[in-house]
Amino acid sequence: MASGIKDKVVILGMGCSRFGERWDMASDMLMVEAVEEALADAGIRRDQIGAAWLGSALDDVNVGNSAIPLATALRLPPIPVTRVENMCATGTEALRAAVYAVAAGAEDVALAVGVEKLKDTGFGGLPIRTKGSVNDLWMPYGSAPGTFAQLAGAYAARHGLNGADLKRAMAHVSWKSHQNGALAEKAHLRKPVDMDTILKAPMVADPLGLFDCCGVSDGAAAAIVCTPDMARALGASDLVAVKSVQVCASNGWELQYGEWDGSYMRNTRIAAARAYDEAGITAADIGLSEVHDCFSITELVTMEDLGFSNEGRALFDVLDGRYDRAGAQPSQIDGGLKCFGHPVGASGLRMAYEVYTQLKGRAGARQLGNLEFGLTHNLGGQPSNSVAAVSILGRL
Amino acid sequence: MSDSSILACAGYLPLLRFDRGIARKDLRWSGLGAGGTGLRAVAGWDEDALTMAVEAARGLGAVASSRITFATTSAPFIDRSQAGMVAEALGLPPSLSTIDSAGSRRAGTAALVRALDSRATELIAAGEKRLAQPGSAHHLAWGDGAAAVLVGQGPGLARLLGQATVNVDLLDVVTTTARGLPYAAEDRFVRDEAVEAVYVPAIRQALSAAGLTGAAVTCAILPEPVSGTYRALARPCGLACPNLAEEIAAKAGDLGAALPLFGLTLALERASTGDVILLAGFGNGADVLLLEVTAPQISRTATDALMQGAPLTSYSRFLSLTGALALDWGPRAEVNQKVSASTLARHGRAMHGFIGGRDAAGNVQFPQTPVPVRPDATGPEPMQPVRLADEPAHLLSVTADRLNFTPDPPFVFGLVQFDNGARVAMELCDTETAPAVGAALRMRFRIKTIDRQRQFPTYFWKAAPVSRPPLNAEKP
């Protein structure tokens, strides 16, 4: 019987590059920036790392295939190094692999790195990719905003909501994140944006306007994990433990089977339920969430999928400020994907970096009080065909 | 003469109508486009002669033909059996006799003459989307559209009374493969030659073969290479009836090889039993058929197609849709969309026919997969083919995407729920504004993607609103 990973692994150190249009930085430089910070934080040398995982989603514009680019960039000793990819959950997958290796007793110290160099595509938005030679014969070639925009209409239809009310709540989601992002030194977009500007922005994919969409940027983040005993032996204290890392992937049910109404993400709900169960907590215990706010509507719907809002109530909770900085359950305290942008392979680890930083009490102007548990959430693919990842970090 | 008759016919026009006056106004500085009046039917970026011919053929309802002819002068492929693709798109068996009829605007009537002379049941599907240079008369005079006719034994809608063909290598307009665009002769020469050397002798021979005089003809469908042709030939041929081809040209444009068959459909929709129809095809000569109406046409596909649609008000969008203006769509349009022959060999029939599968428990899905999507499926199951092209459906979620490349933004797509249980992520078409969640949908055969590096289109189905808005033909 599996006993889970709760408290079997702690985070010894983390690092995060500055996110943005890093025209002067290649992928290897971004990885080094993040990992050097993590090594310094952990107080170890790279030859103490037993195994490493590289998360990188878009090999055609990023580091290329395999994990060799990580081993090469860091000049790692000859250890197992593996590349993982699971769309926007890629960064969390790298963390999960490193955490599981330590929890399994296979390694004392493991490294997870996520990186993406999106701004070398030469155009805005995410790269346009094939969906596979057979799927391309029939699947729509929609953009990411196009696929997520459809949540809005389906959500409004399910709950009998007015489109204008929903649009205002979506704007509040973005407004709140821009307020928070102004305090995040490593964020890409650091200017507050007023509600009127958000509401009047040009349409990207109906009803998502420009400010309903997250930024696109370059970045890297890294985590060094180990056993609690190893951390203590290295002199670490005030430890941040991994309570759970859960992943759930679509099997075609949403896309092909006639049950789902398009208004929520079942994968998020399943991954969250497993994570709360493994961590032994409930949604109400989460003091900070870093969720996958690729688009404003995604964050709004995710507040219900994670159990923070009751079904059909997220619109009202958002407008009431529940997820604002001063609210009951702040979300995106660093500005989220909205302000950091979304270098796909790095985002999950960037979220963990903020939760870790907050739990360590190092968040400066962004610091929240009385934080016991923080949650990260990724949603890869599109609502109708997705990978969800939920991880919970907390004090040991 | 065989006992064959016209069993069914149907017409199809694309959604958009361009008011030629817009071009006339925009081109005023140049002195070109002066003859532009009326409306021109404009195909969507994802329509071509093949897709429109398929849509016209679908208007015939279920057919059991042994032969298929695809007729056009604007075939998207020079070396690929498009009649075979028509069969695939209609879900017909691969054993049918198929042929592509091309090389002249008479491709439709020539096929019809031969079908009426045989004892086979034959589906003739004609479609046309012809390129022409902006500023030319043809760019505005021509229209995009399609029509289909089913010919077979026994009583139907109309029977052949007499027929004649005259071949004359009159180059009123000629398109070479090397140039790819039409080149026109002087109007006055064309009209005189078309009347004296082509139409009058052909019509007289056909009337003689039918044992009729021109006065017996109640309706003509006679394509005019230049306006005034019918007026000039009516008196010498004794014709006093209206020419529907003129009405179609004014409301949709000259549909090329599809014009006679579209006109025949329209004529039969308006005719009474006993009427006599003069049907002509023109192009390097003429085919003339005299048909007696033997039963009223119930469906109104051609009438509806002329009355329904949406105005296209931008000249630059018209130029873009007619292939006359290559816009720089930026790097997002550079995605490589190559499709391999082996992929199409495996999946082409299911894509062209929109064939999903019914699993062992009865659930329908698209595409077929080894293990069904049904949640309680425990392993691979055999699937029975289920065609989704004619299934009713509604919209579950939708957006109008302005980020990803499409040749005619926005890119409207969503999740489509079929009444039989299948659910498919689909692109939408025939939508000037995105329909609302819950809207009823019908399927249309369309170009899915054009591999822009190799200029190779793939075909699939798109979801469209069930009906089109009424078009005020007088005030578009």
CB contact under 8 A, A153 and B369: no
Residue B475 above 70 pLDDT?
A: no
Cβ–Cβ below 8 Å for B397 and A262:
yes
Q: A62 pLDDT band (50/70/90 cuts)?
A: confident
Check if A23 contacts B (Cβ < 8 Å): no
Mean pLDDT rounded to a whole number for chain B: 95
Residues B360 and B457 in one domain: yes
Inter-chain CB proximity A142 and B422 less than 8 Å: no
Minimum-distance CB partner of B415 among A129, A157, A262: A262
User: A228 in a domain, yes or no?
Assistant: yes
Out of A139, A203, A258, the one facing B402 most closely (by C-beta) is A203
Among A172, A188, A292, A342, which one carries the catalytic annotation?
Answer: A342
Pair (A37, A165) in one structural domain = no
Is residue A136 in a domain?
no
Predicted confidence (pLDDT) at residue A86 exceeds the cutoff of 80: yes
In a domain, A125, yes or no: no
Structure tokens belonging to residue B54: 């398929």
B338 in the same domain as B317:
no
ipTM over 0.85: yes
The Cα–Cα gap between A99 and A93 comes to: 10
Q: What average pLDDT does this structure show over B277-305?
A: 96
Q: What is the pLDDT of residues B363-379, one digit of tens each?
A: 999 999 999 999 999 99
Of B406, B424, B448, the CB nearest to A137: B448
Phi, psi of B6, rounded to the nearest 5 degrees: -80, 115
Contacts of B425 in chain A (CB under 8 A): 139-140, 255, 384-385
The domain in which residue B86 lies consists of 4-321
Cα separation, B252 vs B328, whole angstroms? 29
Q: Let me know: does A247 contact A387? Beta carbons within 8 Å.
A: yes
Task: Say yes or no: B227 and B272 in one domain.
Answer: yes
In this model, does residue A325 exceed pLDDT 60? yes
Residues B218, B277 share a domain: yes
Check pLDDT > 70 for residue B332: yes
Confidence of residue B476 (pLDDT cuts 50, 70, 90): very low
Query: Same structural domain for residues A187 and A227?
Result: no
pLDDT band at B304 (very low <50, low <70, confident <90, very high): very high
Distances A100 to A43, B166, B268 between C-alpha atoms, Å: 22, 83, 74
Residues A310 and A355 in one domain: yes
User: What percentage of residues in chain A have a pLDDT greater than 70?
Assistant: 99
Q: How far is A136 from chain B (nearest CA, A)?
A: 8
Cβ within 8 Å, pair A255-B415: yes
Say whether both A354 and A210 belong to one domain: yes
Position A293 in a domain: yes
Judged by CB atoms closer than 8 Å, whether chains meet at B365 and A153 is answered as no
SS3 sequence of A106-144: CCCEEEEEEEEEHHHCCCCCCCCCCCCCCHHHCCCCCCH
Q: Tell me what the pLDDT averaged over chain A comes to.
A: 96
Same domain for B134 and B60:
yes
Chain A, 254 to 293: residues with Cβ < 8 Å from chain B are: 255-258, 261-262
Secondary structure class of A346 (helix, strand, coil): helix
A204 and A327 fall within a common domain: yes
Per CB-CB distance under 8 Å, the chain B contacts of A296 are none
Confidence of residue B112 (pLDDT cuts 50, 70, 90): very high
Annotation says A214 is catalytic: no
Q: Chain A closest CA to B255's CA: distance in Å?
A: 30
Q: Which residues of A touch B369 (CB under 8 A)?
A: 252
Write down the pLDDT at residue B473: 45
Q: In chain B, how many domains are there?
A: 2
CB spacing of A141 vs B424 below 8 angstroms: no
B197 shares a domain with B146: yes
Give B1's pLDDT tier (boundaries 50, 70, 90): low
Chain A contact set for B460 (CB, 8 A): 137-138
Is B69 within a domain? yes
Looking at the structure, tell me whether residues B203 and B102 fall in a common domain: yes
Please, which pLDDT band fits residue B10 given cuts at 50, 70 and 90? Answer: very high
The yes-or-no verdict on residue B196 having pLDDT over 90 is yes
Domain count, chain A: 2
Between A and B, how many CB-CB pairs are < 8 A?
A: 139
Distances (CA, A) of B11 to B146, B265, B269, B432, B444: 6, 6, 11, 22, 14
Q: Is A207 within 8 Å of A361 (Cβ atoms)?
A: no
Residue B222 pLDDT: 98
Q: Identity (one letter) of the amino acid at B460?
A: F
Nearest Cβ partner for A150 among B365, B374, B399: B399
Instruction: Identify whether residues B198 and B151 lie together within a single domain.
Output: yes
Which of A238, A271, A301 is a domain's end point? Answer: A238
**Whether B336 and B289 share a structural domain:** no
Whether residue A3 lies inside any domain: the answer is no
Helices (H) and strands (E) in chain A, counts: 13, 11
Write out pLDDT tens, residues A220-256.
999 999 999 999 999 999 999 999 999 999 999 999 9
Which pairs count as long-range contacts for B438-441, CB under 8 Å and 24+ apart, including other chains? B438/A157, B438/B394, B438/B395, B439/B394, B439/B395, B439/B465, B440/B392, B440/B393, B440/B394, B440/B465, B440/B466, B441/B392, B441/B393, B441/B394, B441/B395, B441/B416, B441/B465, B441/B466
Query: Are residues B276 and B345 both part of a single domain?
Result: no
Please report the pLDDT score of residue B380 as a whole number: 97
pLDDT at B34 over 90: no
Give yes or no: residues A147 and A111 share one domain. no
pLDDT at A83 over 50: yes
Active site residue A178: no
3-state secondary structure chain B: CCCEEEEEEEEECCCEEEEHHHHHHHCHHHCCCCCCCCEEEECCCCCCHHHHHHHHHHCCCCCCCCEEEEECCCCCCCCCCHHHHHHHHCCCCCCCEEEEECCCCCHHHHHHHHHHCCCCCEEEEEEECCCCCCCCHHHHHECCEEEEEEEEECCCCEEEEEEEEEECCCCCEEECCCCCCEEECCHHHHHHHHHHHHHHHHHHHHHHHHCCCHHHCCEEECCCCCCCHHHHHHHHHCCCCCEHHHHHHHHCCECHHHHHHHHHHHHHHHCCCCCEEEEEEECCEEEEEEEEECCCCCCCHHHHHHHECEEECCHHHHHHHCCCCCCCCCHHHHCCCCCCHHHHHHHHHHHHHCEEEECCCCCEECCCCCCCCCCCCCCCCCCEEEECCCCCEEEEEEEEECCCCCCCCCEEEEEEEECCCCEEEEEECCCCCCCCCCCEEEEEEEEEEEECCCCEEEEEEEEEECCCCECCCCCC
**Is the predicted pLDDT of residue B205 greater than 70, yes or no?**
yes
For residue A10, is pLDDT > 80?
yes
Q: Stretch A348-370: mean pLDDT, rounded? A: 97
A window 142-181, beta carbon within 8 A of B: 142-147, 149-151, 153-154, 157
Are A182 and A55 part of one and the same domain?
no
A60 within a domain of the structure (yes/no) = yes
- Interface touch B375/A253, C-beta < 8 Å: yes
Whether residue A279 is contained in a domain is answered as: yes
Tokens of B53: 């011919």
CATH number at residue A380: 3.40.47.10
Shortest Cα distance from A153 to chain B (angstroms)? Answer: 6
Instruction: Pick B403's closest partner by Cβ from A129, A138, A204.
Output: A204
Mean pLDDT of B424-444: 95
Residue B415's DSSP bridge partners are B397, B425
User: Are B7 and B152 within 8 A, CB to CB?
Assistant: yes
Boundary residue ending a domain (B321, B340, B362): B321
Q: What percent of chain B has pLDDT over 70?
A: 98
Q: What residues in B contact A129, CB-CB < 8 Å?
A: 335
Do B152 and B203 fall into the same domain? yes
In a domain, B459, yes or no: yes
Nearest to B458 among A128, A137, A385 (CB): A137
How near does any CA of chain A get to the CA of B414, in Å?
A: 7
Q: Which residues of A touch B358 (CB under 8 A)?
A: none
Please indicate whether, in this complex, the C-beta atoms of B424 and A138 are within 8 angstroms of each other.
Answer: yes
The pLDDT assigned to B37 comes to 86
Min Cα distance A83 → chain B (Å) is 25
Q: Examine the pLDDT at B144 and tell me if it is beyond 90.
A: yes
The reply to whether A190 and A322 lie within a common domain is: yes
Contacts of B373 in chain A (CB under 8 A): 251-253, 256-257
Please give the residue range of the domain that contains residue A80.
10-120+218-238
Do residues A305 and A163 both lie within one domain?
Answer: yes
What confidence tens digit (pLDDT) does each residue in A106-155 have? 999 999 999 999 999 888 888 877 888 899 999 998 899 999 999 999 99
Contact by Cβ (8 Å): B155, B5: yes
Q: Given its phi and psi angles, is residue A352 left (phi above 0), alpha (psi -120 to 50 degrees) or beta?
A: alpha
Report which residue type is found at B38: G
Residue A67 within any structural domain of the chain:
yes
Is the same domain home to A208 and A222? no
